[in-house]
Homo-oligomer: A and B are copies of this chain.
Amino acid sequence: MADLTLEDIAKQAGVSRSTVSRVVNNHPHVSEGVRKRVLEVIQITGYQPNAAARTLASQRSWMIGLVVPRSVSSFFTDPYFPHLTRGIAKGCNQHDYTLGLFLVGTKEDEEKILPRVSRSGLLDGILVQAGHHGDQVIDRLVQSTIPLVMVGRPFHTEGISYIDVDNIEGAYNAVSHLVRLGYQRIGTITGPSKSTVGVDRMEGYRKALNERGHTLDESLVTEGDFTEAGGYYAMQRLLPAKPDAIFAASDIMAVGAIRAAQEADLRIPDDIAFVGFDDVPLANHRDPKLTTIRQPVYQFGFSAVEILIELIENGREPARRVMVGTELIIRDTCGASRRR
C-alpha cells in the first residue's frame, strides 16, 4: 500500500528514519546487519517511497520528459518514432527514471506544456524531438534553464546539446552505392527542407554526386514529407525526368515511391533502383526487399536518455554533441546482385 511511510519502516526495524532512508537510497555507512534488517522489513511490508516527498526534499524528480513539437507531424505516420520511443523508455527504465510524454498538437497545448516542462520542478530534464526551422516550442524550450538534449540536430546549435545520426554520411553512402552500380540518372526524394534531417540527407546526395563526377539535375530532386503518400506523389513528379535510380530520404517514402513506380509499370530494380533510409522492419518484409541505410533508432533513443542524465548530473556546460553512425544494408531494390 502507498500509505506506509519511512517512519513506519523505521519503527518496525527499530531504527531511525534517516537510517531507513540511507538504506533505501543505497548510501554507504550503514552496517550490514542493520541494512539487512531494514531491507527485510521493506520486503515484507512492500514499502514504496512516496515520489512527491522524495522529489520535494531532494529537488530531483527522477523524471524526464519527451517533448514532440507540433512541426513533427510524421510522429504519427513514421514507424521510426515507435522505435525511438521504445529506446527512450528503455533508457529511462534502466536508469530508474520515469518518462513523461508531451505531444504538442495545438497552440493551446503549447501554452500548457511549456511552463509545466520547464519550470514546475516536474522534470529533471527534457528530450526534444527536432522539428522544423522556426518551431516556437523548440526555440522557447532551448532558452529555458532546464537540462535539455535535442534528438536530432537543430538549426542553431550554439550552446545546445544534441544527438544525431550522421545523415550526411548515410546519404552519401547510399548515393555512392548507386553511383558505383553504374546508375546515370539518380534522383532523390528529400525530407522537408525546413528540417536538418531533410537538409543533411540532401547534402549527402549532392556530395556523392559531385565527388563522383555527376552533375546535379534539379528535375531529379523533389521534396517529400516522410509519409508514404508523400513518397508516392513525389515519385509521380519525378517520373517524367526518367530517373534510373532513387534515393529516398526515408523507407516509408521509398515504399510509397516504389508503389508509384510499379503503377507506372516499371520493374524494380531492372527499370529503376531504390535505396531508402531507416531500415524499418517493413523494409525487409516486402518484395523486392529494400536496400537502405540502417540507423540504430532504438539505440539512438537509449543513448539520448543517457546523455540527458549525464547532463542532469554534471551540468549543461559544455554542450554535448553525439553523432551516430549508419550502415548500408544491401538487399534487392538497388540491383546490386545483378552486378552492373
Q: In the bound complex, how far is the Cα of B81 from the Cα of A76, in angstroms?
A: 9
Q: In the bound complex, how far is the Cα of B116 from the Cα of A48, in angstroms?
A: 8
Least Cβ–Cβ distance between A236 and chain B, in angstroms:
12
A57-115 at interface with B (beta carbon < 8 Å): 61, 63, 66, 75-77, 79, 81-83, 85-86, 89-90, 93, 96, 98-103, 105, 108-109, 112-113, 115
Is residue A140 contacting chain B, with contact meaning CB distance below 8 A?
no
Give A60's nearest chain B residue, CB to CB: B52
Contacts of A76 in B (CB 8 A): 79, 82-83, 86
Among A66, A83, A122, max chain B CB count under 10 A is at: A122
Is residue A232 contacting chain B, with contact meaning CB distance below 8 A?
yes
Contacts of A281 in B (CB 8 A): 77, 229
Is residue A263 contacting chain B, with contact meaning CB distance below 8 A?
yes
Q: Are A101 and B103 in contact (CB under 8 A)?
A: no
Q: Are A112 and B83 in contact (CB under 8 A)?
A: no
Q: Size band of the A side of the interface?
A: 35 or more
Q: How many copies of this chain does one complex carry?
A: 2
Is residue A287 contacting chain B, with contact meaning CB distance below 8 A?
yes
Q: Are B119 and A98 in contact (CB under 8 A)?
A: no
Q: Are A285 and B89 in contact (CB under 8 A)?
A: no
Least Cβ–Cβ distance between A4 and chain B, in angstroms:
9
Is residue A44 contacting chain B, with contact meaning CB distance below 8 A?
no
Q: In the bound complex, how far is the Cα of B163 from the Cα of A85, in angstroms?
A: 25
Q: When A75-B82, A82-B76 are in contact, do A101 and B119 touch as well, CB less than 8 Å?
A: no
Q: In the bound complex, how far is the Cα of B55 from the Cα of A52, in angstroms?
A: 6
Q: In the bound complex, how far is the Cα of B89 from the Cα of A66, in angstroms?
A: 12
Contacts of A53 in B (CB 8 A): 52, 56
Q: Are A100 and B100 in contact (CB under 8 A)?
A: yes
Q: In the bound complex, how far is the Cα of B63 from the Cα of A122, in angstroms?
A: 10
Least Cβ–Cβ distance between A148 and chain B, in angstroms:
14
Q: Which of B50, B66, B102, B145 contacts A56 (CB under 8 A)?
A: B50
Contacts of A121 in B (CB 8 A): 2, 50-52
Is residue A228 contacting chain B, with contact meaning CB distance below 8 A?
yes
Least Cβ–Cβ distance between A186 and chain B, in angstroms:
26
Least Cβ–Cβ distance between A107 and chain B, in angstroms:
12
Contacts of A56 in B (CB 8 A): 50, 52-53, 56
Known: A66-B101, A85-B101, A256-B285. 11 other contacts (CB 8 A): A2-B119, A46-B115, A51-B61, A52-B52, A76-B86, A77-B79, A90-B109, A93-B108, A98-B102, A100-B100, A232-B285
Name 9 A/B residue pairs within 8 A (Cβ), A-sorted: A51-B116, A81-B82, A85-B103, A90-B105, A99-B102, A228-B282, A228-B285, A256-B285, A263-B287
List A residues at the B interface (Cβ < 8 Å): 1-2, 46, 48-53, 55-56, 61, 63, 66, 75-77, 79, 81-83, 85-86, 89-90, 93, 96, 98-103, 105, 108-109, 112-113, 115-116, 119-122, 145, 228-229, 232, 256, 259, 263, 281-282, 285-287
